[in-house]
A = this chain, B = another copy of it.
């Protein structure tokens, strides 16, 4: 019995050893640029060994996708201390943009890359992502209850807000805002955010 237990533990340790190395390499080189052979070299095992612990490269991406959401929730931990729901909502948007700017590689794997969600079974939990999203939904609902936002389906409004935030962030990250000269690009982005905030606000 205890043999099986140790084996399971060792299997888990090996998995997180692979993931840790992959994680570090990915942060240095960018996700697509790291190969299975790179990871194998870093942990001093052969490439084939990786396949005893992960089905394929996408499964590694999926695991790191989940880790990125954990990191994102940590990054946003201080939002929970903001009592006023409207202040919290605005701060949430600001932090979303901050996260994109400070951690573009995480943003990329969380919201832009295809790889992490390319395996069928990825329909499963995605707990941390759901947590973040329902936090947004609850905040929106509270904003309506306190009269900050016009009454509407809070789920629909939450999706609309997220869509806007993700839209502007991914345009920036993927270099699709070159029609604006570099100097004014950031100003445009800020003004757009302010405009959007004023648009959802009651009155």
Contacts and interface: CB of A to CB of B under 8 A. Distances in A.
A133 B188 CA distance: 15
A192 B111 contact: no
A186 interface: no
A195 B162 contact: no
Nearest to A165: B167
A139 interface: no
A113 B112 CA distance: 9
A157 B191 CA distance: 9
Each complex incorporates copies of this chain amounting to 2
Given A114-B174, A166-B170, A170-B167, A159 B123 contact: no
A85 B155 CA distance: 30
Interface string A96-124: 00000000000000011110010000110
B111 A160 contact: no
Interface string A172-202: 0011111100000000110110011001100
Given A130-B179, A167-B166, A192 B117 contact: no
Residue among A126, A163, A174 facing the most chain B CB atoms (10 A cut-off): A163
Interface residues of A, number: 41
B153 A163 contact: no
Given A111-B176, A130-B179, A179-B129, A166 B159 contact: no
Interface of A: 111-114, 117, 122-123, 126, 129-130, 133, 152-153, 155-157, 159-160, 162-168, 170-171, 174-179, 188-189, 191-192, 195-196, 199-200
Given A111-B176, A163-B168, A167-B168, 7 more contacts: A112-B170, A123-B178, A130-B179, A153-B195, A155-B188, A156-B195, A160-B164
